[in-house]
Chains A and B, each alone.
Chain A
Amino acid sequence: MTYIISIICISSSYAIVALGLNLQWGYTGIFNIGVAAFFAVGAYTSAILTGPKWGGMIGGFGLPYLVGLVGAVLFAALLAYFIAFILRLSWGLLAIGSIMLSDVVILIFKNEMWLTNGVWGIGGIPRPFGEMMSASTSDWVYMIISLAILIGAYFLLEKGVRSPWGRTLMIIKEDPILAEMAGKDVYRWSRMSWIIGCMYMGLGGAVYGHYIGYINPRSFDNVMITFLSLCMVVVGGSGNNKGSILGAYVLWVTWTGTEILTSYLPAAWQLRAPYIRVLAIGVAIILFLRFRPHGLIGREVAVSKMGEKIKKVRVE
């Protein structure tokens, strides 16, 4: 049973990240490979604000959960703003720059003992109402909380996407030149979408951190997290929020599923298990991209209809 709770909690965290990524890629056409950095920033910020002090680090503020979440979101936004400033969101630069910069961010987390306790990590990250109940009940409660946050995030995004704000983003993605002519400052709008997307990723990181209870720099494998998140969006179907959530769950289940499968391997192979899993998922993703690129649900109908309309206008 704890397995299921674990899956739901972690999938929900990733689903929040996927929603943010979907906003950036599916709705605005921005390509972000620095996902892991924002995820890590979110998790660490929340941990520092709410968790106990370890070693020589700052922290031990013991602030409530909600503050942790808000802090996570704010710092993610700050980092997002900073990166937008340096990279100016040009897609080529961003594609390569975001991964390098997120490497730097995680390196900082690894090396700066005074901030994050370095490689020793931060343990004992509290659950909301954690002291009041036993461990297993707290698991249940957290599952409900993480789902609640996910659902809240989802509806917020859905409303945003269907509003005039969302439609503007659509136009910017489909035809930036048309948007410029209509007087929209493409850069500012893209940046807005970028920052909000990153805020979601920070939120996801915080939710994750509080569930796991202990984070260290190694738990944020830059490439893996980013890769998994991108795959979640693609598998679900980009431009489709429900798809992103579905993708997150499917992918996480698959990922942990491979863990279960490899545990059946003979002991001599156990050491190699993680690499076999990575190999398997790499192959699966490549095949998926090759044969089923539209994702499980595919592009949302409203979104694609709008895209068609814009194309027609452009051609005439």
Chain B
Amino acid sequence: MGGWVVSGLVFGSILALGALGCSYILLMQNYFNFTAAPLLALGAYIGWTIMRVLPEWGGLELIIAAIVSMVTLGIIMTATDKAFQKPLRDRGAPFMFYYLTSFGLLFVIRSTIWLIWGPQAKYYYPGSSVGIAAPWGIMVKPAEIITLILAVVVVAVLYFFQYHTKLGRGMLATSQNSMLASVCGVEPETIHTTTTMIAGSVTALAGILYGLNIQIRPLMGMYILAGIFVCVVCGGEGAILGTLAAGYLVGIAQEVGSGLIQIPLDFFGIPIQMSAYKMAITSVLFIVVIYLKRGGVWKGTFLER
């Protein structure tokens, strides 16, 4: 059971990072960024490619690869935003156009990934890794520890940035009252650039951690999109801490839930493997959340910050 909780937290960390990327875009640019799915994968693939070029430095190569990937993805996301979404903003286009462009980019990036890297699954460190003993007799893998720590670190950094730097406050102001923010001297495009840089890097990290813990596949982003959406909604649409908390909750719900359901299944000899349906649990959760949200009862706001 403890193992499930750990897996849940790990998976939840990944979800939360992906969700932060989408939340930023949702809050500042008003659309749900479907392109996050292939971008996540792209981050993973770029990291993988870089690692193949670097020698084994006892883990340092992963860090370098991660940093390069995050920066690259931030730049890619900013570039595509300026090239394709900014003109829509300037025109005051209806929101469907943002979605269509996001979809178009989704296809472009997805196909590019296929063309460059092909469909086989890839791994950062081929071969299974050995677990480390942790309290309560739970076995934790190094990858899991890294994930948990990194997620918390990133969230802490973002939180500090958001609430204690001028630019971060400018972003908050823009999201609450963009007109007044511009009157105060906040430059809208600077805010957008910051948003896309953050969203891109966070998404890349999510991809890398996903690849580290599970595997790298072209469609990896699509698998967790439902989970990401749930986190975005439950996290209070932009509340940084809330999104992390939501990630943990969803992750645990998924792992523990499927684990618990497996018990009666095994008991009755029903040959269904819940592990294959884990994602389905998230989808069900998603439907429940949507249904509750429209009624105004949702757990998002308990951590408004």
Q: Which A positions have Cβ atoms within 8 angstroms of B?
A: 25, 31, 33, 86-88, 90-93, 95-97, 100-101, 103-104, 107, 223, 227, 230-231, 234, 272, 275-276, 278-279, 281-283, 285-286, 289-290, 293
Question: Within the assembled complex, what's the spacing in Å between the Cα atoms of A228 and B218?
Answer: 21
Residue contact A101 to B287, C-beta cutoff 8 Å: yes
A103 with B283: in contact, given A93-B293, A278-B110, A285-B104 (CB under 8 Å)? Answer: yes
Q: Which of B108, B110, B112, B293 has the most CB of A within 10 A?
A: B108
Q: B146 contacts which chain A residues (CB < 8 A)?
A: none
Q: A281 contacts which chain B residues (CB < 8 A)?
A: 107
Residue contact A286 to B283, C-beta cutoff 8 Å: no
- Closest Cβ of chain A to B103, distance in Å, is 5
Q: Which B positions have Cβ atoms within 8 angstroms of A?
A: 31-32, 83-84, 87-88, 91, 93, 95-97, 99-101, 103-108, 110-112, 114-115, 226, 229, 280, 283, 286-287, 290-291, 293-294
Question: Within the assembled complex, what's the spacing in Å between the Cα atoms of A268 and B114?
Answer: 15
Residue contact B114 to A31, C-beta cutoff 8 Å: no
Residue contact A275 to B99, C-beta cutoff 8 Å: no
Other-chain residue from B91, B95, B107, B229 in contact with A282 (beta carbon distance below 8 A): B107
Question: Within the assembled complex, what's the spacing in Å between the Cα atoms of A185 and B303?
Answer: 36
A227's closest neighbor in chain B, by CB?
A: B103
Residue contact A275 to B84, C-beta cutoff 8 Å: no
- Closest Cβ of chain A to B175, distance in Å, is 15
Q: Which of A91, A103, A276, A289 has the most CB of B within 10 A?
A: A289
- Closest Cβ of chain B to A217, distance in Å, is 16
What are 9 A-B contacts defined by CB distance under 8 Å?
Answer: A25-B96, A100-B286, A231-B100, A276-B111, A279-B107, A282-B107, A286-B105, A289-B84, A293-B97
Residue contact A279 to B111, C-beta cutoff 8 Å: yes
- Closest Cβ of chain A to B84, distance in Å, is 6
- Closest Cβ of chain B to A191, distance in Å, is 14
- Closest Cβ of chain A to B110, distance in Å, is 7
- Closest Cβ of chain A to B17, distance in Å, is 19
A94's closest neighbor in chain B, by CB?
A: B290
Residue contact A282 to B104, C-beta cutoff 8 Å: yes
A86 with B290: in contact, given A286-B84, A289-B84, A289-B101 (CB under 8 Å)? Answer: yes
Residue contact A87 to B294, C-beta cutoff 8 Å: yes
A234's closest neighbor in chain B, by CB?
A: B100
Q: B287 contacts which chain A residues (CB < 8 A)?
A: 86, 100-101, 104
Residue contact A31 to B229, C-beta cutoff 8 Å: no
Question: Within the assembled complex, what's the spacing in Å between the Cα atoms of A275 and B91?
Answer: 32
Residue contact B100 to A230, C-beta cutoff 8 Å: yes
- Closest Cβ of chain B to A269, distance in Å, is 10
Q: A101 contacts which chain B residues (CB < 8 A)?
A: 287
Q: B280 contacts which chain A residues (CB < 8 A)?
A: 107
Other-chain residue from B97, B114, B229 in contact with A275 (beta carbon distance below 8 A): B114
- Closest Cβ of chain B to A142, distance in Å, is 31
Q: A103 contacts which chain B residues (CB < 8 A)?
A: 226, 283
Other-chain residue from A92, A272, A289 in contact with B97 (beta carbon distance below 8 A): A289
Q: B95 contacts which chain A residues (CB < 8 A)?
A: 31, 91, 95
Q: B100 contacts which chain A residues (CB < 8 A)?
A: 227, 230-231, 234, 285, 289
Question: Within the assembled complex, what's the spacing in Å between the Cα atoms of A93 and B112?
Answer: 30
Q: B106 contacts which chain A residues (CB < 8 A)?
A: 223, 282
Residue contact B105 to A100, C-beta cutoff 8 Å: no
Residue contact A290 to B87, C-beta cutoff 8 Å: yes
Q: B32 contacts which chain A residues (CB < 8 A)?
A: 92, 95-96
Question: Within the assembled complex, what's the spacing in Å between the Cα atoms of A293 and B100?
Answer: 11
Question: Which 4 A/B pairs are nearest by Cβ-Cβ distance?
Answer: A282-B107, A279-B111, A282-B108, A286-B104
Q: B226 contacts which chain A residues (CB < 8 A)?
A: 100, 103
